[in-house]
Structure 1
Amino acid sequence: MRTYKDINDFGGCPYPVVTVGTFDGLHIGHQKIIGRMREMAREHGGETVLITFDPHPRQVLNNNKGELRFISTQKRKFELLDHFGIDHMIVIPFTLEFSKTPSEVFVKDYIVDRIGAKKLIVGYDHHFGKNREGSYSQLRGLGEKHGFDVEEIAAQFVKDQAVSSTKIRKALAEGNVTLANRMLGYEYSITGVVANGNKLGRTIGFKTANIDVEDHFKLIAAGGVYACRVEIDGQLYNGMGNIGNRPTVGSDKVITEVHIFDFDRDIYGKEVTLFFIDRIRDERKFADLNELKQQLLVDEQRVRELLKID
């Protein structure tokens, strides 16, 4: 995938099949759009072009920026777009001034004049331009005017719910990673660097790696104990993750940590990724470390059963 941080660097391509959006999470609805783009590009000997924005528009327009959280970091989103087969990604700097661009002007200046779109593929709930005034019906009219075709992709459903980034964020905030994973089409994950902790876990036989998540806007799932897989240096391991403030030991900071099964390497300073499979239980306060240890033994057995580990 070729990436352009300045649209003026895009030198054109054969029969551009285009989409526009923020694509938080790259869920199964987004994947359906990309799949259709690739199909149309193959049919016409063309290439796919995806326009997205940095920072996310909500980071510029939302008054409560401290509460904003996203399923994907920008880095992860770009990795997924490459994985799903986009040919060209154009990242438009999103500013307050840019947000005032009328939808018709955006289409003419960017999609028509600078990209030369032949086909525009959008999701069922797509809106764009100043105050999100642009709609599918408007796009069809603009397509007729400027000579490009427009296609709308229908909603994708999981458990009778139309999939959206908003619903996935809600599921994660409730700790329902199984629903979130079905809507995403892959496992929700957290990536960070292993940092020094207080090393209490090793005193009860449950050494943990504390994960320092650098991106402040990354959405962390609800507190609790999770069945996880852990990627380290390209290798996958099984483990038991915990998100929370560890009330038994009196911490007030929310921490993401993981106990990796049958593993004893020093990984301080390494970047690791936790893939969340299922939530086992809420975080609880125990009377002492021994009571915590007994519960963790039960948790580990449950996780091993879920992950089908002997």
Structure 2
Amino acid sequence: MIIKRNLFDKEENYYTVVTVGTFDGVHVGHKKIIDKIVANATANDLKSTILTFFPHPRMVLQQASDLKLLNTLEEKISILKETGLDQLIIHPFTKEFSRLTAEEYVKEVLVESINAKKVIIGYDHRFGRNRTATIGDLIKFGEKYKFDVEQISVEEVNEVSVSSTKIRVALEEGNIKTANTFLGYSYMLTGIITKGKGLGKQIDFPTANIHIKEEYKLIPKIGVYVVKSEYNNKTIYGMMNIGYNPTVNGEKKTIEVHFLDFDEDLYDKEIRVELLERLRDEKRFDSIEDLKKQLIKDKEATLAFIANYHAQ
């Protein structure tokens, strides 16, 4: 997959079939659209292309610093690499770019920069300054600038009945099974392992603290989760706590993973964990000993889940 970080950087001249969107989560609904453009590109000797933007337009136009996204940019890229897509264009979204008129956007972006021969887009797609242009306008521009427009109907969208918003709500409620079903893969957190206070090691449950630098990344509901990760080409499982460690009067929210049957140094390494199941809420215990007893129960529940997970 070719990755371009600016749509105005033209290196090669080839024609494309393109779709446009933020594609947050790259969920099963998005994948249906991607499958459509990949198949169309193959049939017509075109390059299947997604045009997306970073930062998210709402972060720029509405200064929505509290907007939480399902993927970091690098996570999104890694997921899209597995779809068969030929080209991903990640264009920097700015206020200046948002002021392009509908026709300027079509001419300068879709035609001159992307060489679109076909645009496949949702029935409710809006574009141009203040997002005033509609799919009907795009079809007229297509006739003028010689590209086809294929509309993804409301029936096709409703058939999937998935949205990034629904997935965010599921994660915020701790409903990891629903979120993963809608995503079509396990929700992931990616970060650097940092040193913690070492309290877990003292009670035989050493943990790896994950620092996620992207503040816009959505962190699921506080609680204990079953997770898995890939490390040195090996799958490792663990139990992860998202929360404040109230038993030891923790003040900052942390993400800590205790990996099972694993004893390697992970400090300063980047790791990606996939969330498989939510076990329970975070609780405050009367003593460290009570906390340890609960962790033993959590480990038993984690091992039972993993055994069933492998049996499926």
Q: Do they superpose with TM above 0.5?
A: yes
Q: CA deviation at 1:13?
A: 4.7
Q: How far apart, in 2, do the equivalents of 1:92 and 1:237 lie?
A: 36
1:39-78 superposed matches below 5 A: 39-65=39-65, 67-78=66-77
Contact 2:14–2:115 (Cα < 8 Å) also in 1: no
d(CA) in 2 for partners of 1:247, 1:274: 23
Is the 2:223–2:282 contact (alpha carbons within 8 Å) kept by the matching residues of 1? yes
* Comparing 122-131 and 174-183, the one that deviates more: 122-131
Q: CA deviation at 1:245?
A: 0.8
Aligned to 1:193: 192
Counterpart check, 1:22 vs 2:7: no
Say what the alpha-carbon RMSD is for the aligned residues: 1.8
Over residues 178-200 of structure 1, what are the superposed CA-to-partner deviations in whole Å (9 max), with x where a residue is unaligned?
11111111111001111101111
Deviates more, 1:167-176 or 1:9-18: 9-18
Q: Which moved more, 1:121-130 or 1:28-37?
A: 121-130
Name the CA distance, whole Å, in 2 between partners of 1:180 and 1:116: 36
For residue 258 of structure 1, what is the aligned residue in structure 2? Answer: 257
Distance 1:267 1:114 in 2: 43
CA distance in 1, matches of 2:126, 2:221: 30
Normalised by the length of structure 2, the TM-score is: 0.92
Contact kept? 1:237, 1:260, Cα under 8 Å = yes
Q: 1:155 to 1:246 in 2, by over 3 A?
A: same
Q: Do structure 1's residue 234 and structure 2's residue 233 form an aligned pair?
A: yes
Deviation digits for residues 149-203 of structure 1, max 9, x if unmatched?
2223321656xxx211121111111111111111111111001111101111122
**Shift of residue 303, structure 1, vs aligned partner:** 1.6
Provide the identity percentage: 43
Output aligned runs, 1:109-188, within 5 Å: 109-153=108-152, 154-155=156-157, 162-188=161-187
Q: Which runs of 5+ in 1 are unaligned?
A: none
Map Cα deviations across residues 78-118 of structure 1 (whole Å, 9 max, x no partner): 22222212212222221112112223321122112222211
Identify the range of structure 1 (6-15 vs 176-185) with the bigger mean alpha-carbon deviation. Answer: 6-15
Give 1:124 deviation, angstroms: 4.6
Deviates more, 1:198-207 or 1:36-45: 198-207
**Unpaired segments ≥5 residues, structure 2:** none
Q: Secondary structure at the match of 1:7?
A: coil
Residue of structure 2 equivalent to 1:101: 100
Cα contact 1:29–1:123 (8 A) shared by 2 = no
The alignment partner of 1:8 has SS state of coil
Which amino acid in structure 2 is aligned with residue 4 of structure 1? K
Question: Matches of 2:49 and 2:74 in 1, distance apart?
Answer: 18
SS at match of 2:84: coil
